[in-house]
Amino acid sequence: MTTFSEVLSERLRRDPGQPLVTFYDDATGERVELSVTTYANWVAKASSLLVDELGLERGMRLRVDLPPHWLGTVFVGAAWNAGLVLTAADDPDAVVCGPEALARWAPRAAATTVLACSLLPLGVRFAEPVPVGVHDVGVEIWSQPDAFAPWDPPTADDAATDTQSQGEVWTTAAAGTLVADGGRLLSVANPASPPGVATFTEPLARNGSLVLVARAEPERLEATYVAERATARFPA
């Protein structure tokens, strides 16, 4: 399995109802759990939004400028599903941002495709209208289909990040040491960032799952670790 689509399809075949991403926001008390199937549906919707609605093409660069959040894992998957390159560059073809980064990216909306996530529970829209030219994910994603088939599917040789191909990403993930096969990784790292992406790719590739805690309260992390039956931590 050397592409994101192949890895996700195998997980859907094996255990569609198993939790894949469980998200906690310790500042608000929010908890969201995505099964493999639910995650795949979100990825399909996000892929359709990026490609069919907004016209991004295989090989274009997407920056996911979100804080640690379950939507970050969705847009990482959608990028690879569509053959886009996850980039940390300041001049991407498109960007997905949250409320804190919106003021930075909104002025570039004429030249760069800008998608904004409110990061409110259930992925809903912003309470106030977003700036002109910016796409509110909470408005536009819901009308997208739950299935996506790229007309130009990515291969193992397609770039996945600034430094790795899709094949390299999944070879590395399968051999990773953050979590054992079938394990449950509790992490406070941003899975949409270059240093943290392995906290998502390894559990996905190794039939495991991610428990992502944002704005973590140290005294609550141990309780979350126990309650979620986690088997590993990042950082260790």
Distance of alpha carbon 50 from alpha carbon 25, whole angstroms = 26
Which DSSP letter does residue 197 get? Answer: T
* CATH number of the domain encompassing residue 98: 3.40.50.12780
Q: How far is CA 143 from the centre of its chain?
A: 19
Domains of the chain: total? 1
Counting other chains too, the contacts that 188-191 makes at CB distance below 8 Å and 24 or more residues apart are 188/68, 188/212, 188/213, 188/214, 188/216, 188/221, 188/234, 188/235, 189/68, 189/234, 189/235, 190/66, 190/67, 190/68, 190/72, 191/68, 191/72, 191/73, 191/76
pLDDT band at 236; cut points 50, 70, 90: confident
For the full predicted model, state whether its pTM sits above 0.95. yes
Per-residue pLDDT reduced to its tens digit, 99-122: 999 999 999 999 999 999 999 999
Per-residue pLDDT reduced to its tens digit, 146-185: 999 998 999 999 999 999 999 999 999 999 999 999 999 9
Place of tokens 């088997």: 231
Distance of alpha carbon 149 from alpha carbon 40, whole angstroms = 12
Distance of alpha carbon 93 from alpha carbon 87, whole angstroms = 10
pLDDT band at 1; cut points 50, 70, 90: confident
pLDDT band at 96; cut points 50, 70, 90: very high
Q: Which domain holds residue 57?
A: 4-234
What single letter denotes the amino acid at residue 223? A
What DSSP element (H or E) covers 224? helix 218-227
Which DSSP letter does residue 122 get? Answer: G
